[in-house]
Chain A
Amino acid sequence: RKEVEQDPGPFNVPEGATVAFNCTYSNSASQSFFWYRQDCRKEPKLLMSVYSSGNEDGRFTAQLNRASQYISLLIRDSKLSDSATYLCVVRTGGYQKVTFGIGTKLQVIP
């Protein structure tokens, strides 16, 4: 089983739709969780950290479910500019134990 698993998609959604992605992780000792965004042929950039109690940043909501070992990202009122690949990042232990998922591709359609 992979340490971090994501559905690669693509998820094709119309503008204004709500879309959610999940990411599962295998190590119950994992400590920190993040979502990164990567535009086509660009470098990854931090979208948001994921806190135990869940957190929101504008149209984006991130949640952590430790019991089931997954994190989620919800995007409300999707914009064309949200089209990108969303990478799940999990930290377990020290610097070398930062694992990136393969990413979920989102395409928002006019």
Chain B
Amino acid sequence: GAGVSQSPSNKVTEKGKDVELRCDPISGHTALYWYRQSLGQGLEFLIYFQGNSAPDKSGLPSDRFSAERTGGSVSTLTIQRTQQEDSAVYLCASSFAGGRPDGYTFGSGTRLTVV
């Protein structure tokens, strides 16, 4: 596609439920990133993919968070047993090369609300 696509755009879930967030990067972009943006906070790095591999998962806040990427394309971020503090906007970005913020294209994000 022309840009990075994320779905759903909004998700309201009950505390304790699992959620899956999806990111479709720009075709040909090998690098993919997940960030989280909470109210009044900067973008918090979660995980980076180069192809299907995740060289660094250290940004994931707890073992309730996991992510995968298949076919060097679509990525899914899964949050198990959601908590209220998980409420945030989850942003996905892709780029041709890793670690080049001048090449990032962000999706419009998934706004997650845990009630």
Residues of chain A at the chain B interface (Cβ within 8 Å): 4, 8, 32, 34, 36, 42-46, 49, 87, 89, 91, 94-103
Contacts and interface: CB of A to CB of B under 8 A. Distances in A.
B43 to A, nearest CB: 4
Which range contains the number of B residues in contact with the other chain? 20 to 34
Given A32-B101, A44-B43, A100-B42, 17 more contacts: A8-B40, A32-B102, A43-B91, A43-B107, A43-B108, A44-B91, A45-B106, A91-B99, A91-B101, A95-B56, A96-B58, A98-B45, A98-B101, A102-B40, A102-B41, A102-B42, A103-B42
B101 A96 contact: no
Dominant SS among interface residues on chain A: strand
B109 interface: yes
Contacts of A34: 101-102
Interface of B: 31, 33, 35, 40-43, 45, 48, 50, 55-56, 58-59, 91, 98-99, 101-102, 104, 106-109
A89 B101 contact: yes
Given A44-B106, A102-B41, A95 B99 contact: yes
Contacts of B98: 94-95
A56 B53 CA distance: 38
Closest 5 CB pairs of A and B: A95-B99, A43-B106, A100-B43, A95-B98, A102-B42
A78 to B, nearest CB: 24
B99 A94 contact: yes
Given A4-B42, A103-B42, A43 B109 contact: yes
Contacts of A96: 45, 48, 56, 58-59, 99
A101 B45 CA distance: 12
B108 A42 contact: yes
A57 to B, nearest CB: 13
Contact of A95 (B40, B48, B109): B48
